[in-house]
Amino acid sequence: MRDPSSDTQAPPPRTEPSQTPPNKAAKRRPRRRRKPKATPAATPQSLENLLIETVRAKYQAMFGKAANDIPIDLNLSFQVVPGDPWRLDFDPPLEEQLGDVLEQHEARQSCFTQGRVYCFQCDAADCDHGVPGSPSEVFAGYDPVGQPRWCDMAQFLLDLKDERVDQLYRENGQVVARQLAGHHLKNRQLSPFGKSSKRFSLIGQVILGYLSMVGHGGERERLAISFQAVESRTPQGLIRLHLNVVMHGEDRDELETRLEEQYGWIRRARRQAEERLAGLEQQLAQLKKKGSGVKPRQLLRQVPEILQQLRQQLQQGYRQRQRRTKHAEERRALLRPIDKAMADVETARMEDFFFDTREETVILRGRRGRCHVFTQAGKHVTSFVIGENATHGRFRRGRWEPMDQNQCESFLTTLARLGSGGSSASG
């Protein structure tokens, strides 16, 4: 018999996988490099939005929120350089170009008003923050949000550690002048609130005080003045330089008239400073016209020197006044309009009398610009000299109104009844 197991086929012999010799590396297909994705082309709208956002961010960083919708003329200088990648070359740098353009645009919106300090918080010069709150206050700088700060001059000198504070309270009432740089007055101010603005750029100031002034009621009050050198721009981009004279007083024209009458040395020092600033302004205009390489900042460095001369002249003028003899003072006093009051009453016509609606006093206009102030009871309060423009201003604002015949006759009767009392009351 056959063995059944002989019908079963034996499994094929196992073959070992062939091994690659160590000196022969396996061949692999090279990987294809992926092509970089093309950068999508910027659309005109996206470029426009990017430029708008860049300019807006720069403007707000320099000046804060725009106060109006006046268009900004933007001319940039740059080159497009092909390569891998393409690039833009700005000369000067983009930040510098934008800063110059925006500064010029801001400066053309001049905010200068004589006698007032511009308030960047209110974006106005005619707000309540623009003038001192009392006669003894001076400008002490801007606060962080661009609002003017005012401080009694004595306290301000104490804050500055000025050793002359005691001179303000001496019996003879000495006057002190102090110069301050613009950066000292703007060191608290933040850039978004006008620190870099050229609409009203404070270069420096000289403070003066205290001056003894006679008020309408005959009482004496202490007056301090801030003389400020201010830079602004015209719509054509020309630099303007102003001497801003800031002091407390509802009727500025009348206050300046009384100030010049009592302190002529202030008028002379002020006029010389204004003339020097005007001369420097002309140099700056010629510089722009010629297009020379000299930068305006180099010429503007003369402004602190002009303020220094102003301070010296104010201090010197006061000292010279103090050295005048008593006899000279008495001789000048004979020329004061106060001594002409009753003489002008005797020659006055009905149309020379007016009623001051604010002070409720009687005004007599005499010769050569003399004005005399009386109470309705006939007491002579004060006299001063006033110009035609200031006089017409009072009529235009309705402060001075003509008196009718009955009012004039009643007032003259009161004066006649007082006799010499009207004139003696002014002494």
H/E/C letters for each residue in the chain?
CCCHHHHCCCCCCCCCCCCCCCCCCCCCCCCCCCCCCCCCCCCHHHHHHHHHHHHHHHHHHHHCCCCCCCCCCCCCCEEEECCCCCEEEECCCHHHHHHHHHHHHHHHCCCCCCCCCCECCCCECCCHHHCCCCCCEEEEEECCCCCEEEEEHHHHHHHCCCCCHHHHHCCCCCCEEEEEEHHHHCCCCCHHHCCCCCCCEEEEEEEEEEEEEECCCCCEEEEEEEEEEEEEECCCCCEEEEEEEECCCCCHHHHHHHHHHHCHHHHHHHHHHHHHHHHHHHHHHHHHHHCCCCCHHHHHCCHHHHHHHHHHHHHHHHHHHHHCCHHHHHHHHCCCHHHHHHHHHHCCCHHHEEEECCCCEEEEECHHHEEEEECCCCCEEEEEECCHHHHHHHHHCCCEEECCHHHHHHHHHHHHHHCCHHHHCCC
Q: What per-residue confidence (pLDDT) applies to 254?
A: 78
Q: How far is CA 425 from the centre of its chain?
A: 43
In this structure, is residue 116 part of a structural domain?
no
Q: What per-residue confidence (pLDDT) applies to 300?
A: 93
Q: What per-residue confidence (pLDDT) applies to 99?
A: 81
Strand 201-214 to strand 87-90: parallel, antiparallel, or no bridges (unpaired)? Answer: unpaired
Q: What per-residue confidence (pLDDT) applies to 302?
A: 95
| Whether 268 and 135 share a structural domain | yes
In this structure, is residue 396 part of a structural domain?
yes
Give the count of domains, the chain. 3
Structure confidence by residue, pLDDT tens digits, 384-422: 878 787 888 888 888 999 999 999 999 999 888 876 444
In this structure, is residue 13 part of a structural domain?
no
| Whether 80 and 158 share a structural domain | no
In this structure, is residue 114 part of a structural domain?
no
Q: What per-residue confidence (pLDDT) applies to 27?
A: 58
Q: What per-residue confidence (pLDDT) applies to 422?
A: 42
| Whether 183 and 319 share a structural domain | yes
In this structure, is residue 153 part of a structural domain?
yes
| Whether 316 and 347 share a structural domain | no
| Whether 351 and 391 share a structural domain | yes
**Over pLDDT 90: what percentage of the chain?**
35
| Whether 77 and 200 share a structural domain | no
| Whether 227 and 313 share a structural domain | yes
Name residues whose C-beta falls within 8 Å of residue 283's C-beta, 6 or more positions apart in sequence.
299
Domain span holding position 372: 337-424
Cα distance between residue 391 and residue 99, in whole Å: 46
Is 383:423 a contact under the CB 8 Å cutoff? no
In this structure, is residue 113 part of a structural domain?
no
- Cα–Cα distances in Å, from 330 out to 265, 326, 334, 336, 405? 18, 6, 7, 10, 38
| Whether 162 and 87 share a structural domain | no
Q: Residue 422's closest CA among 412, 404, 368?
A: 412
| Whether 152 and 213 share a structural domain | yes
| Whether 289 and 416 share a structural domain | no
Last residue of a domain, one of 323, 346, 368: 323
Phi, psi of 145, deg, nearest 5: -95, 20
In this structure, is residue 122 part of a structural domain?
no
Q: What per-residue confidence (pLDDT) applies to 174?
A: 83
Q: What per-residue confidence (pLDDT) applies to 57?
A: 86
Q: What per-residue confidence (pLDDT) applies to 317?
A: 85
pLDDT in tens, the chain (427 residues): 455 555 555 566 565 555 555 555 555 666 666 665 555 666 777 888 888 888 888 877 776 667 567 788 888 888 999 988 888 888 888 888 888 787 777 655 557 889 999 999 998 888 999 999 999 999 999 999 999 999 999 999 999 999 999 888 876 668 999 999 999 999 999 988 989 888 899 999 999 999 988 665 567 789 999 999 999 887 777 889 999 999 998 778 778 877 877 888 999 999 999 999 999 999 998 887 776 666 788 899 999 999 999 999 999 888 777 665 444 554 454 455 666 788 888 888 999 999 999 888 999 998 878 889 999 888 888 888 787 878 888 888 889 999 999 999 999 998 888 764 444 333 3
Cα distance between residue 195 and residue 201, in whole Å: 8
Q: What per-residue confidence (pLDDT) applies to 425?
A: 37
